Amino acid sequence: MKILVFSDIHGDWRALGRLLETEADLYFSAGDLTSWERGLAEGGRILAQRGERVYVLPGNHESAAAVQAMCDRFGLNFFHERSFKTGGYHFAGLGYSSPTPFNTPGEYSEEEIAERLERFAALKPLVLVCHCPPRGTPLDRVRDGVHAGSSAVARFIELHQPALFFSGHIHEAAGVQAKLGCTRAFSAGPRGLLFDFDKIEAV
């Protein structure tokens, strides 16, 4: 099984189209297809090329309602606060970010993030896809000494050790990988990450 995870397209529809040329079993859009929800329908049209194999999270630049409406319109899977099982793994998704200085549409308090993640705590083995990365890790590093992720996401990973974790949000960390205890963690970014479960031991 191969999955393609990407995030933070921010309206670059050519880049999105190129990503969807990649062959995978499942596609995960981990938030911020747009900036301030502009052009969301165009993103939906492109994602529709892969149809029911696409799972979409709202980033901080999109509301859950807008992304769900897009998914309903174009036959995509709304993945926010939801989970499913395939290939022996539980896949779970949480969009939005922790609070930002910009008052974007998709932000939760740390308490709200913790509450929503808790419903996934018993799912094992877990592949967790979030828009927001864990705070204080390589995945949320903006620059030396500056981190902008979620402490609630970090705490969940520390306590529950999902097998795999994917996020976006922090543009400067795109493509970064880290080992967080037993969890293999990845910042997908707009170039995307193709993950092959048949080669999981080698990753």
Express the helix, strand and coil content of the chain in percent, nearest 5 each.
Answer: 30, 30, 45
Residues 140-192 pLDDT 10s: 998 888 889 999 999 999 999 999 999 999 999 999 999 999 999 999 999 99
- pLDDT of res. 203: 39
Residues 116-144 pLDDT 10s: 999 999 999 999 999 999 999 999 998 88
- pLDDT of res. 202: 39
Widest Cα–Cα separation across the chain = 42
> Has residue 6 got a pLDDT over 90?
yes
Residues contacting 121, CB < 8 A, separation 6+: 156, 159, 160
Q: Which two tokens stand for residue 99?
A: 């609070």
Residues 26-85 pLDDT 10s: 999 999 999 999 999 999 999 999 999 999 999 999 999 999 999 999 999 999 999 999
- pLDDT of res. 132: 97
Alpha carbon distance 73, 149 (integer Å): 31
DSSP-derived secondary structure for 106-142: SB--HHHHHHHHHTTTT-SSEEEEESSPBTTSGGGEE
> Has residue 197 got a pLDDT over 90?
yes
How far does the chain reach from its first CA to its final CA, in angstroms?
14
For the chain, list the domains and their CATH numbers.
2-202 (3.60.21.10)
If you ran DSSP here, which 8-state letter would residue 143 be given? E
Contact 11, 20 (CB under 8 A): no
- pLDDT of res. 199: 83
Binning pLDDT at 50, 70 and 90, where does residue 14 land? Answer: very high
Q: What is the pTM of this model?
A: 0.96
Helical (H) or strand (E) element with 166: strand 164-167
Alpha carbon distance 159, 132 (integer Å): 17
- pLDDT of res. 145: 81
- pLDDT of res. 201: 52
> Has residue 10 got a pLDDT over 50?
yes
